[in-house]
Amino acid sequence: MVETLSPVVLIVGADAKRLQWMTHHITSQWPESVVSSVPLAQGNALGTVIAESPPDAIFFHVDFGSEPATKYAIDSMLRVLRLRPETHFIVLSSEGDELCAVRALKSGAKDYLPLARISRDLVLTAVAEACAKREASARAARAAQQASTPVAPEIALPGYEILKEIATSNFSSVYLARAQKLSRNVVLKVINTGKSAREMQDAERFQREYEIISSISHPAIVQIHDYGALPQHLYLAMEYFPCGDLRDRLRNPLTVEESLYYLRAIAEALRVIHVFGIYHRDLKPANVMLREDNSPVLIDFGLARRADDDGSSTGVGKVLGSPFYMSPEQAQALPIDSRTDLYSLGVMFYEMLTGARPYLGRSAMAIMAQHTKSPVPVLPSELAAQQPILDRLMAKELRLRYSCTDELLADLNTELSAVA
């Protein structure tokens, strides 16, 4: 079967028993999947449902020999689906002859399943193939967009040999480079400068990142080698980490002991910046690099701000950060303090223990809503001993969360003492 994650499935016209049977098998195979239904009587609502949340697959229960009123509802729905050729819909029919298959495919269906021979494997295979085709179409669209995007001119910075591009975003580009004076590889973070409001804001944010990082000298904080301004660019030359980041490390399962090690080490790194009155605000596995001795290092302080900042230049009142790791107060653009970083650390702790993110969704808003409203996730029974720490890290209410890293570290010391 083709592998897929969290499919969104719409079932149209199925009776309650059939709907329950299909929903059970789909959600058993993909626990994070979303299965909804539309009765034939609400055929005029199908277009709205698809527009609001485009499904990966639509199962359409059709009786080609039905009564005139039912046949009219079926035809209305088929007209909606014909207007959306990108939609992968599969016809289910209680009739099972070859003529039914032909009529289904002529109606625009991508597949036909006679109910007389339907099985769990047929349904799951149809869903997986629909998701695979949708993802292939999305990849093709992205490739076409990239092919039509002009190639940016190569960056040239005096004293540095650009080796390769590591990453790029709307804010900056990151390169691996060779620093001639240092005779070592470094990471160059580069932004364009200009006179537009956006470019001036980016430059101010870039300058603030340099000032924050350069104000702290500690092994747990990335080291700055150089900062420069050219007519068209600002750049930061930073420490290079050949061992990669925690995101790469999480591609392989962690033991409980390894998860606790990273939790403690990252908490200690947060303690350093919090002592300096700095909140990171974008803590996630990709922003935690690893040294050769496996010790973590915090990077990317582009969204960081100081405790005494009035918020005029750091985005207070704006939603900034990664939705997967965002605290409830960040998601609501509320004032934040050091407990925001501890919440993000809790999300990472859950991911380290289970290999999955606690909240998923088809949009950033859907994920942020879960951070705000959904309960703290429950760990599997074999990890229940870690639940109290997770509960305090990911508490929705600030008063129930760890008030500072010292409280968390004290709990971790107690746990380690108990194990010893």
Q: What is the pLDDT of residues 196-208, one digit of tens each?
A: 777 888 888 899 8
Q: Domain containing 350 — which CATH number?
A: 1.10.510.10
CA within 13 Å, CB half, 382: 4
CA distance 227 to 211: 10
Which pLDDT score is estimated for 1? 44
Which pLDDT score is estimated for 200? 84
Closest of 299, 377, 297 to residue 343, by C-alpha: 377
Which pLDDT score is estimated for 391? 98
Say yes or no: 273 and 399 in one domain.
yes
Q: Residue 148 domain-assigned? A: no
Q: Domain containing 176 — which CATH number?
A: 3.30.200.20
DSSP code string of 107-150: TT-SEEEEGGG--HHHHHHHHHHHHHHHHHHHHHHHHHHHHHSP
Say yes or no: 321 and 274 in one domain.
yes
Which pLDDT score is estimated for 53? 63
Q: Which two tokens stand for residue 120?
A: 């769990």
Say yes or no: 286 and 413 in one domain.
yes
Closest of 317, 334, 315, 322 to residue 367, by C-alpha: 322
Q: Residue 87 domain-assigned? A: yes
Given 282, 300, 337, 341, which residue is catalytic? 282
CA distance 394 to 358: 10
Please state whether beta strands 233-239 and 184-192 pair in parallel, antiparallel, or not at all (unpaired): antiparallel
DSSP code string of 246-267: HHHHTTSPPPHHHHHHHHHHHH
CA 168 to chain centre: 17
282 in catalytic set: yes
Which pLDDT score is estimated for 151? 43
Q: Residue 150 domain-assigned? A: no
| DSSP reduced 3-state for 295 | coil
Low-confidence ranges of the chain (pLDDT < 50): 1-3, 69-70, 149-153, 313-314, 317
Which pLDDT score is estimated for 386? 96
